[in-house]
Amino acid sequence: MKIKRIVEEALEESKQLLDKGKLADYIPELTKANPRHLGISILSKDGKKFSAGAVKESFTIQSISKVITLLFCLDFFGDEKVFSLVGREPSGTPFSEFITLSDFTDKPKNPFINSGAIALASLLASRMTFEDYLAKSNELFGQGDFKLNQAVYTSELAHSERNHSLAWELKRMKLLSADLETSLDFYTKVCAIEASAENLVDLAFCLANYGKIANKQVFKQRDIATTLSLMLTCGLYDGSGDFAAAVGIPAKSGVGGGILAVVPGRAGLVTFGPALDYNGNSIGGIELLRIISDQLDFHLFLPQAAI
Ligand code: GLN
């Protein structure tokens, strides 16, 4: 009961910030979202689910897919191969940054900026089709509810000059494992997977549960630790430091308005609110997570009470 009240009050309070956010418009189809939507779904260690607000609304997962891509890559190809293609450092730049892919670096800064995610999508595309990726994601976390949003996919592909530039640069640097168009198509399709906050919370919970799904160790604990470390340091792009200090848990955002957040060993959380801040992160989602973290002692560097 206590959690239900905390979540509902946090939702009302966070809604007050929504007017300060803006829908992503560089993918035209995303401007059809309702900027007043805000919701959160929480799955706790004892299997209890708490939801409030717009948790049944479907949205495209966008950069949240980069978490799934990283997990699959670590699982299929191992740490050494993955981190020969991308680094593990915050970029200090927007997600579509081009600047660090210069002659002075040998790979993208991390797997969560677009250049890094395209390199890893390319690696996966050398091993599986998009349909395999969708089927595996559905089998593990989506319970059949993840699907491709064809309109968003087509809309993004028609406006993907920047991602094309990044892919060409990756090709020049010999960091693509599949051909360029296949790599970009795969990347754009996984970003356009559609789900609701309630559908996505199983993915957040798998990470919180150190890679176990229904008592089966599906991902290596070490790969989960690597993924969560990168979410904490790079998951919200140039807003990662502020979020880590204020909220204190690993998270990954997407321009569709979702944020996947993880309290290791305790709970998985997903917020949805398509009004975004300057860095392209959900403005209401961040506020909601900040208040809830504060109320439920989620911050990893503060003493914890039982949820
Ligand atoms: N598909 C988006 C892009 O490539 C993902 C960006 C994001 O969610 N931050 O620009």
**Same domain for 45 and 89?**
no
Q: Which of 142, 175, 193 is the last residue of a domain?
A: 193
Candidate of 29, 30, 60, 96 to mutate for ligand 1, largest count of ligand atoms within 8 Å of Cβ:
96
Q: Answer whether 235 contacts ligand 1 (Cβ < 6 A).
A: no
Report the separation in Å between the CA atom of 44 and the middle of ligand 1, taken as the mean of its atom positions: 29
Q: CATH number of the domain at 122, please.
A: 3.40.710.10
- The per-residue pLDDT string of the chain (307 residues; one tens digit each, 9 = 90 and over) reads 588 999 999 999 999 999 999 999 999 999 999 999 999 999 999 889 999 999 999 999 999 999 999 999 999 999 999 999 999 999 888 898 887 776 668 899 999 999 999 999 999 999 999 999 999 999 999 889 999 999 999 999 999 999 999 999 999 999 999 999 999 999 999 999 999 999 999 999 999 999 999 999 999 999 999 999 999 999 999 999 999 999 999 999 999 999 999 999 999 999 999 999 999 999 999 999 999 999 999 999 998 765 5
Q: Answer whether 121 contacts ligand 1 (Cβ < 6 A).
A: no
Q: Check if 160 is active-site.
A: no
**Same domain for 81 and 125?**
yes
In 10 A of CB 264, how many CB atoms?
17
Q: Check if 63 is active-site.
A: yes
Candidate of 65, 156, 161, 238 to mutate for ligand 1, largest count of ligand atoms within 8 Å of Cβ:
156
Report the separation in Å between the CA atom of 120 and the middle of ligand 1, taken as the mean of its atom positions: 14
Separation between Cα atoms, residue 91 and residue 232, nearest integer Å: 13
Residue 305 maps to a domain:
no
Separation between Cα atoms, residue 17 and residue 81, nearest integer Å: 42
Q: Answer whether 112 contacts ligand 1 (Cβ < 6 A).
A: no
Which pLDDT score is estimated for 306?
Answer: 53
Residue 302 maps to a domain:
no
Lookup: tokens for 103: 């002659």
Q: Check if 41 is active-site.
A: no
Q: Answer whether 254 contacts ligand 1 (Cβ < 6 A).
A: yes
Q: Check if 183 is active-site.
A: no
Nearest CA owner, ligand 1 atom 2: 62
**Same domain for 135 and 159?**
yes
- Domain holding 205, by residue range, is 2-59+195-296
Residue 200 maps to a domain:
yes
Which phi-psi region, left, alpha or beta, contains residue 168 (left: φ > 0; alpha: ψ -120 to 50)? Answer: alpha
Residue 31 maps to a domain:
yes
Q: Answer whether 191 contacts ligand 1 (Cβ < 6 A).
A: yes
Residue 306 maps to a domain:
no
**Same domain for 70 and 148?**
yes
Residue 304 maps to a domain:
no
Report the separation in Å between the CA atom of 61 and the middle of ligand 1, taken as the mean of its atom positions: 9
Which pLDDT score is estimated for 152?
Answer: 97
Owner of token pair 């995303």: 30
| Identified catalytic residue from 14, 44, 51, 63 | 63
Residue 234 maps to a domain:
yes
State the Cα angle at 225 between 206 and 42, rounded to 5°.
35
- Total domains in the fold of the chain: 2
**Same domain for 53 and 199?**
yes
Residue 46 maps to a domain:
yes
Separation between Cα atoms, residue 160 and residue 171, nearest integer Å: 16
Closest residue by Cα to residue 296 from 249, 230, 245: 249
